Structure 1
Amino acid sequence: MSQSGYKVSDLVKAAGVSRQAYYKWLTHEPTVHDIQDQEILKLVKQLEAQHKHCVGWYYPLSS
């Protein structure tokens, strides 16, 4: 049983993955690409915080 109180078999069924895929994912080593993606995500979150969560939003100050 998982920490959430749900059975692993119920969780993988809801997610549409096999138990084997789930356990493989649990023990996988992150690839270089995974690590780069995490670094990019970290930088994006920093920019969002710096700009009060309006990164990518354009609001003209005058018409």
Structure 2
Amino acid sequence: MHQPGVFYGGGFVLLTFIRWLISIGLGIYGFFLFVKLARRGIEALDLYIYAKNREIRDHYESVHPKE
């Protein structure tokens, strides 16, 4: 009996499995990068809020008003 070829049978399944593994790996890596970006964004937002609150506090609740 004649073999149908490497891409028709087992070889195609192997390439599909490798492609699936690569896509899973890239998905995990992308999620990791997204989490890093989100954490940096949260820290930047916290610093911005702290600076704005401090600016407002210094301006309106100062013992020595600036006139």
Name which one, 1 or 2, has greater alpha-carbon Rg: 2
TM range (shorter): 0.3 to 0.5
Greater relative contact order, per chain length (Cα 8 Å cut-off, separation 6+): 1
Q: TM-score, normalised by structure 1?
A: 0.35
Higher helix fraction (1 or 2): 2
